[in-house]
Chains A and B, each alone.
Chain A
Amino acid sequence: MSLIHIQNLNKHFKVLNRREGIGGAFRDLFSGSYRTVKAVDDISFDIEAGEIVGYIGPNGAGKSTTIKMMTGILKPSGGTLQVNGLMPYNNRIKQAQIMGVVFGQRTQLWWDLPVIESFKILREIYKVDQKMFDRHMGMFDELVGLKTLYSQQVRTLSLGQRMLCDIAASFLHNPQVVFLDEPTIGLDISVKAKIRSLIKTLNAERNTTIILTTHDLGDVEALCQRIIIIDKGKILYDGDIKRVTALFGAYRTLKLQIDNYADSTLQSLQEKLTEHFGADNGCTIAQTEEFWTDVTFDQARTPLSDVLGQVMANFRVSDVRIVEISMESVVQQVYDGALR
């Protein structure tokens, strides 16, 4: 039996279509019209003990909602969900003992107390014996230098320091499974690297199962063997990360600021690329922010210099940036059949 078993799981939210103004709010009170948001739409997967799974997808895909069901906050609208053989929503207290959770940037430590006191309170809550406590605290110190933060009030920590403390705290009671929802969001590269190594070591040391939610592909490349891609509540891919990195590892996005940008620019850019590289060139063009045109392409098929050359030859470009492929473009590519 797998540690986490999910079958045809759903979560639907009824959301009020708010009317405008005070009068509207008043009428909503009595006769609101609702629409249903299928935040999680018929998903199934199993996770075995000891796995690190990257649960990825763009904003609003349904990642947090799935985690909220697995941690017993939300009641599923339908389907089966078992963690360690039990339905989390109906066994919250019992399940909390075998889980660790870090939810985004909202700390679970005691805001006004020194860091070490939070850990001591957690020791009491989870009844961690002194030997295990000392061992784990030693390990946290070795991995991220936790000791230097012991006497600082949680409120005075930087976001990165707080995340490190929160993640360490979620492993203190040696849980069977740890859920990390967007642990690296808003952090700079060096803290990200520390967090990745902390997670990796803890998983290896204690064979703790880890479900990691992120929209940073770097996180999953560094940590996971298996990824599950979700979008609009549905699972698009569940499998080895190697297939995904093989596909997207070579992808880059070229961000261009084109002079005299007009509505026809995207169209003519598309035509020029097709003209030069053929119809099946693997390039996608989109405008994701004002003044910037994104060209996402596969370096293996269309080298960067060629794409850039084509663009420069045909358009006046005032600024250029090259970035790694975004989660949104990955999902778009998967829809377009990239992993089939």
Chain B
Amino acid sequence: MHSFLDYIRLYFIIETQYIKARMQYRADFIISSFGMFFSSLATLGIFWIIFNSIPELAGWTFMQLVFIYGFYMIAISPMQILFDHIWQIRFHVQQGTFLKYYFRPLNMMFYYMSEMFDIKGLTQLAAGVAILIYASIQLGIDWTLLRIALLLLTLFSASLVQISITLMAGCAAFWVLDSYPVLGLAWKLREFAPYPMNIFDGAFRFTFTFIIPLGFVAFYPSQLFLQPQDVSPLVYFSPLVGIGLFALTYWVWTLGVNSYTGTGS
């Protein structure tokens, strides 16, 4: 049996090897990192264009949206960096290569996800941190120790929300022959997450709050820092939403893994 520390150590050993192997293709790494960096700035460009014609968007200023966007970029990075292998799951399931993940004395989600570490996501994370710091200086947010602790907790939870939504969609591969549209849709929907939920009308807002809770990836938790005096009770739930959702996702994953029968012969 492995302890938590064993797993950390193992993860470190495996990823070091992967990074070493990847570094042989340095040009590929540099180009894709730049691509990641600039594509994340594109959304900021859209905000800037919108705010050139209007001073506020549904009651939010440009700099507040920049803050939410920085929060969003940090929150989606753990999914990108640590769980990227979910994209391959339908191939493994269909071709029967998924079988090998049963043969080691390891937690299967750990073993499966450890086979990919997306380094270029680190540039996204760095860009997110820079944007968040810049926006909070501009907004004059007072970072007390308590607030910083709250920020870390909410970021942790928000990244679990993003991970859960994506993994849950990926798990469709255990039951659906062509599961790509499910995962593709979940990935596309993510682009709604950095927008204020109050710009969406009732049905969409309800969906993004209670069904596919993208609002908890950035918008709701950000309010704890943007307007701490005036937040809906929903916002206080945001640290719990991630943990609850991940527990549910892990349960679905286990269900999938236990019902997988492999391909014939």
* Chain A residues within 8 Å of B, Cβ to Cβ: 13, 59-60, 64, 68, 71-75, 92-94, 96-97, 99, 101, 103, 106-108, 110, 112-113, 117, 120-121, 124-126, 153
| Interface flag for B261 (CB, 8 Å) | yes
Interface residue SS majority, chain A: mixed
Please tell me if the beta carbons of B103 and A93 are within 8 angstroms of each other in the complex.
Answer: no
> Which of B18, B100, B261, B264 touches A113 (beta carbons < 8 Å)?
B18
Give CA–CA (A176, B82) in the complex, Å: 34
The answer to whether A73 touches B21, judged by C-beta atoms less than 8 angstroms apart, is: no
Any chain A CB within 8 A of the CB of B137? no
> Assuming A13-B261, A110-B115, is B17 touching A101 (CB within 8 A)?
no
**B residues neighboring A (CB under 8 Å):** 1, 9-10, 13-14, 17-18, 21, 96-97, 99-100, 102-107, 115, 258, 260-262, 264-265
CB distance from A82 to the nearest CB of B (A): 18
Q: List 27 A-B contacts (CB under 8 A).
A: A68-B99, A68-B261, A71-B103, A72-B102, A73-B262, A74-B261, A74-B262, A93-B1, A93-B105, A93-B106, A94-B1, A96-B102, A96-B104, A96-B106, A97-B105, A103-B99, A106-B97, A106-B99, A106-B100, A110-B14, A112-B18, A121-B14, A121-B17, A124-B9, A125-B10, A125-B104, A125-B105
Q: How many CB-defined contacts (below 8 Å) exist between A and B?
A: 68
A254 CB → nearest B CB, Å: 29
Bound form: Cα–Cα A332–B96 in Å? 30
Contact call B21/A113, Cβ cutoff below 8 A: yes
Residues of B within 8 A of A106 (CB): 96-97, 99-100
A153 to B21, CA, bound (A): 9
Chain B residues with Cβ below 8 Å from A124 are 9-10, 13
**B18 adjacent to A73 (CB under 8 Å):** no
Query: A121 vs B261: C-alpha distance in the bound complex, in angstroms?
Result: 27
**Cβ–Cβ contact B99 & A110, under 8 A:** no
Report B-chain residues with C-beta under 8 Å of the C-beta of A153: 21
Whether the pair A73, B102 counts as a contact (CB closer than 8 A) is: yes
Q: Using Cβ atoms and an 8 Å threshold, which residues of chain B touch A126?
A: 105
A151 nearest CB across to chain B (Å)? 12
CB distance from A216 to the nearest CB of B (A): 16
List A contacts of B13 (CB < 8 A): 120-121, 124
